[in-house]
Structure 1
Amino acid sequence: MKNVYNQAYEELQLILDVSFDGITIADGEGVFRRMSKSFADLVGVKESEIVGESAFLLEKKGIFDTSVTCEVIRKNKRVTIVQKTAANRIVLVTGIPIYNEKKKIEKIINISKDITETKKLESNLKNLQTELEWFKQELNKRTSLDQNKVAFKSKTMEKIINLVYHVANMDVTVLLLGETGVGKGFMAKMIHSSSNRKDLPFLTINCGAIPENLFESELFGYEKGSFTGASKEGKRGLFEMAGNGTVFLDEIGDMPLSLQVKLLNVLDDKIARRIGGSKSYIVNARVIFATNKNLKELVNAGKFREDLFYRLNIVPITIPALRQRKEDLLFLINLFLDNKNKKYGMKKVFSEEALKALYEYEFPGNIRELENLVERLVINTVGETIEGRKIYDTIDPETVDTEQQLPPLKVAVEELERKLLLSAFQKYKTTRKVADVLKIDQSTVVKKAKKLNISGEY
């Protein structure tokens, strides 16, 4: 009988020794009684330091960060955990309790699988996914820059573009500020095309171009028969049609006060209701706002709700006027010139004098005016070179044919003499002194003064 037990013991030890998995056997108190050779390699300690020791003590020593044996005893059930050992290995350990006839834990068998390499692969995969996401975002930026033809050199615009890309995928309210023509609508489209909503609708409404009595129905829609003249089928509003896309509310400073509170409720609650409707619908669209007005001044004047102002003013982006970023002008000129040449099948170029004239102009209409001006010059210029004179003629039509409007030389000379003599008499009073200063005879001064009706002391 003894030989049978010895043989079984030897066979068990052989199984433990040849197993690739780390195996330990502990008693019901958590004291280790047997272990495989591979387990010693996993934990980085000798068998003599494990066998006969309590799992609770080894846990305190830091041999394991968490002992599965202890967890089995604490929870009185099978437990699987990820464990970090003193050998800096990561193992997946399953502790299996063996119960006696009294339903008490008699033994605990632990099976440990080394997953260190698997964890490294998982970490590498996460890093690769992070890098891939970064490359995708960068590619999206470059694609957006190419598609939207953004041309800039100024540090101010660089900061604005970086901010636009930073918030593009955030479901946050953006308020675009700036003078008419600076490109607020263009920037709104860039935010949309750089976001994860780029393949969804982008809908625009100009708050200053819609009659107040039609505004609500345009935004929220209406049910059939809601009012006189309403469509028999009803109508979906802008928020409903946009779905998960983007709604761009331009010139928000012109929105009627009566509608501002309803808009605020939509932004806060993400629900809206058609005029005449009894059911609400969820608003999933991202909303971008723009205005060329000072909303804070409108709030102080009682023309814009203060609570709506603060709701919109989460990410304000002020686009500077073109005259404030002249370093971008050449890039924009070349961009528009290239576009218009392609559009009309031409090869026009600007002379140096023409570029100088464009740089000297203030462009009160900003980028929109610049684009329209370039298009007019491309169309109206005969020949391939656009000269400086053509710029002035186009900017200020009153200067056209100035050669025919010049005064005769004699009239121009007399006017100049008159101004010069007036200035001299105001300062020196006498004809003698005026003659000395102007280096002419006193008699000439007297003669000219009488002819030009200028009085002085003789």
Structure 2
Amino acid sequence: MMPLNNQAIEELTSILDVSFDGITIANGEGIFIRVSKSCEELFGVKISEILGESSLYLEDKKIFDKSVTSEVLKRKDRVTLVQKTSADKIVLVTGIPIFDKDKNIEKVINISKDITETKKLKSDLKNLQTELDWFKQELSKRNGIDNQKITYKSAAMKQIIDTVHHVVNFDATVLLLGETGVGKGFMAKMIHSLSKRRDLPFVNINCGAIPEHLLESELFGYEKGAFTGASKEGKRGLFEIADEGIIFLDEIGELPLSLQVKLLHVLDDKRVRRIGGTTSYEVKARVIAATNKNLKEVVKQGRFREDLFYRLNVIPINIPALRERKEDLPFLINMFLENINDKYGTEKYFSENAIKLLLEYDFPGNIRELQNMIERLVIITIGDKIGSNKIHYLIEPLSISLSNKLGPLKETVEAVERNLLIAAFIEYKTTRKVAEVLQIDQSTVVKKAKKFKIPLK
């Protein structure tokens, strides 16, 4: 390679100095012999402090955290890496080896690009995304639970949602009232998700689903050896597990009288004692209760304590049946159909007549029946269009069979049987449970389902 004359050197220096990127040239020993003006800003030192110095020396002096030149000399190949400099810059550096005729490295040219702002933008974007995710979660909490939405148009539901938002952070007991399937459990979870207790436990117990002799130990726990069959370690009760969160007492109207007294004392004293225990612990959980019964009537019948009723009835929220707010039906139908299509990867839709039939139906099982019915229709329908014949198949009301279609006794009885079975399958799903509820053999249920061509899951 011919040596550069003075003019060529001046031209090279000018090129280096006007370059926005930092450019350095080192010899085969890693000594810097040319440095562009922009390197002063990138590395935070004068050019004079770089010229004549080796790459290893500058690395030791922390001018940059790792030397590209040293890596090029070591690998004998082009190298690109990210440097952090003493000027607190993030720099993307590419080192290019120049070989002589004997294939020895004669020079190393480094081109350094300032990516500090790019890195900062990425960091800011990541932080922004984190904040956005948080806002989405908060918005999701205000819209509902587990990716579902509170969907309504009726004035009655608007008033209920407004009430819920108002009372979420009061610690008073909430009593959710309404028929089976109106969404009392969903509303309890919504209160939890909107409240200051949202990150604390939500403990749910169905007071009607657990035998009386086990319910007390489930609610209040027991000490080791408290009774025959008790765990050797004892057991925490649900009030204890709920800690400072929320305990949801579903079907509170089914709570045995013997436990109603103890629950009243727990609510009044804010303390509970395990079965067989000698000490009590503080109850910090908020209580939400729910029932599909008219508790005032149950109180009159002597099956529910009046004092407990008033203790629970601090914030009553009565959720109307679906037949009382039919203006909400179109929105609920669309929401459930969309969710179930997403669940199964389908693209089912209702025909105009099918929608009309759904809107005319009273849904005695309320939202739960609506959701279960739509899922069943999506599953049993071949093709994407769900026609009115499928709706007739599932929801032909018993009243029509008994009043408008009176005829021969045998046909009328069969119609009643068929609709009763359909209603039972919508609510209970399995042949075993349907047989139990209707108090007939499971084999009879299967036989009649085949007779009436009722699809089984």
TM-score, normalised with respect to structure 2: 0.56
- Shift in CA distance, 397/312, structure 1 to aligned 2, threshold 3 Å: closer
* 2:301 is the counterpart of 1:309: no
* 2:230 is the counterpart of 1:230: yes
- After TM superposition, give the deviation of residue 252 of structure 1 in Å: 0.5
Secondary structure (helix, strand or coil) at the match of 2:239 reads helix
Q: Which residue of 1 aligns with 2:187?
A: 187
Give the fraction of aligned pairs with identical amino acids, expressed as a percent.
Answer: 67
- After TM superposition, give the deviation of residue 396 of structure 1 in Å: 4.1
8 A contact 1:153–1:327 mirrored in 2: yes
Secondary structure (helix, strand or coil) at the match of 2:203 reads strand
Cα root mean square deviation, aligned = 2.0
Q: Distance in 1 between matches of 2:342 and 2:136?
A: 28
Q: Distance in 1 between matches of 2:205 and 2:344?
A: 30
8 A contact 2:144–2:190 mirrored in 1: no
Letter in 2 for 1:259: L
Letter in 2 for 1:370: L
Larger Rg: 1
Q: 1:144 aligns with which of 139, 142, 145?
A: 142
Q: Distance in 1 between matches of 2:381 and 2:397?
A: 15
8 A contact 1:175–1:313 mirrored in 2: yes
Letter in 1 for 2:210: I
Q: Which residue of 1 aligns with 2:392?
A: 392
Q: Which residue of 2 aligns with 1:273?
A: 273
8 A contact 1:141–1:165 mirrored in 2: no
- Shift in CA distance, 137/303, structure 1 to aligned 2, threshold 3 Å: farther
Q: Which residue of 2 aligns with 1:96?
A: none
Q: Distance in 1 between matches of 2:217 and 2:276?
A: 10
* 2:262 is the counterpart of 1:293: no
- Shift in CA distance, 142/165, structure 1 to aligned 2, threshold 3 Å: farther
Q: Which residue of 2 aligns with 1:370?
A: 370
Between stretches 139-148 and 251-260, larger displacement belongs to 139-148
Letter in 2 for 1:238: L
Q: Which residue of 1 aligns with 2:213?
A: 213
8 A contact 1:272–1:283 mirrored in 2: yes
8 A contact 2:182–2:322 mirrored in 1: yes
Letter in 1 for 2:314: I
8 A contact 2:178–2:318 mirrored in 1: yes
Instruction: Give runs of aligned pairs for residues 394-433 of structure 1, distance below 5 A.
Output: 394-396=394-396
Letter in 1 for 2:143: L
- After TM superposition, give the deviation of residue 144 of structure 1 in Å: 2.3
- After TM superposition, give the deviation of residue 397 of structure 1 in Å: 10
- After TM superposition, give the deviation of residue 141 of structure 1 in Å: 6.2
Q: Distance in 1 between matches of 2:202 and 2:348?
A: 34
Letter in 1 for 2:316: P
Secondary structure (helix, strand or coil) at the match of 2:205 reads strand
Letter in 2 for 1:394: L
- After TM superposition, give the deviation of residue 389 of structure 1 in Å: 1.1
- After TM superposition, give the deviation of residue 243 of structure 1 in Å: 0.7
Secondary structure (helix, strand or coil) at the match of 1:215 reads helix
8 A contact 2:141–2:193 mirrored in 1: no
TM-score, normalised with respect to structure 1: 0.56
Secondary structure (helix, strand or coil) at the match of 1:208 reads coil
Which structure 1 residue ranges, 4+ long, deviate > 2 Å from structure 2? 136-144, 394-398
Q: Distance in 2 between matches of 1:160 and 1:396?
A: 31
Q: Which residue of 2 aligns with 1:450?
A: none
Q: Which residue of 2 aligns with 1:109?
A: none
Q: Which residue of 1 aligns with 2:282?
A: 282
- After TM superposition, give the deviation of residue 138 of structure 1 in Å: 12
Q: Which residue of 2 aligns with 1:198?
A: 198
- After TM superposition, give the deviation of residue 146 of structure 1 in Å: 4.9
Instruction: Give runs of aligned pairs for residues 432-447 of structure 1, distance below 5 A.
Output: none
- Shift in CA distance, 204/303, structure 1 to aligned 2, threshold 3 Å: same
- After TM superposition, give the deviation of residue 143 of structure 1 in Å: 3.4
Q: Distance in 2 between matches of 1:138 and 1:332?
A: 22
- Figure out how many residues of one structure are paired with residues of the other and give that number: 264
Letter in 2 for 1:364: P
* 2:154 is the counterpart of 1:154: yes
Q: Which whole-Å deviations, capped at 9, do the CAs of 1:354-386 have from their partners, x for residues lacking one?
A: 100101111000000000000001111111111
Letter in 2 for 1:321: A
Q: Which whole-Å deviations, capped at 9, do the CAs of 1:426-456 have from their partners, x for residues lacking one?
A: xxxxxxxxxxxxxxxxxxxxxxxxxxxxxxx
Q: Which whole-Å deviations, capped at 9, do the CAs of 1:286-336 have from their partners, x for residues lacking one?
A: 100000001111111111111111111111100000000000001110111
Instruction: Give runs of aligned pairs for residues 239-250 of structure 1, distance below 5 A.
Output: 239-250=239-250
- After TM superposition, give the deviation of residue 139 of structure 1 in Å: 8.9
- After TM superposition, give the deviation of residue 261 of structure 1 in Å: 1.0
Q: Distance in 1 between matches of 2:266 and 2:272?
A: 6
Letter in 2 for 1:205: I
- Shift in CA distance, 137/248, structure 1 to aligned 2, threshold 3 Å: farther
8 A contact 1:220–1:240 mirrored in 2: yes
Q: Distance in 2 between matches of 1:194 and 1:212?
A: 33
Q: Distance in 2 between matches of 1:195 and 1:384?
A: 41
Between stretches 145-154 and 324-333, larger displacement belongs to 145-154
Q: Which whole-Å deviations, capped at 9, do the CAs of 1:223-280 have from their partners, x for residues lacking one?
A: 0100011111110000000111100000111100011111011111110010001111
Q: Distance in 2 between matches of 1:281 and 1:383?
A: 59
Query: Unaligned 5+ residue runs, structure 2?
Result: 1-133, 399-406, 408-457
Q: Distance in 2 between matches of 1:175 and 1:252?
A: 9
8 A contact 2:141–2:190 mirrored in 1: no
Q: Distance in 1 between matches of 2:315 and 2:231?
A: 38
- Shift in CA distance, 146/216, structure 1 to aligned 2, threshold 3 Å: closer
Q: Distance in 1 between matches of 2:180 and 2:347?
A: 30
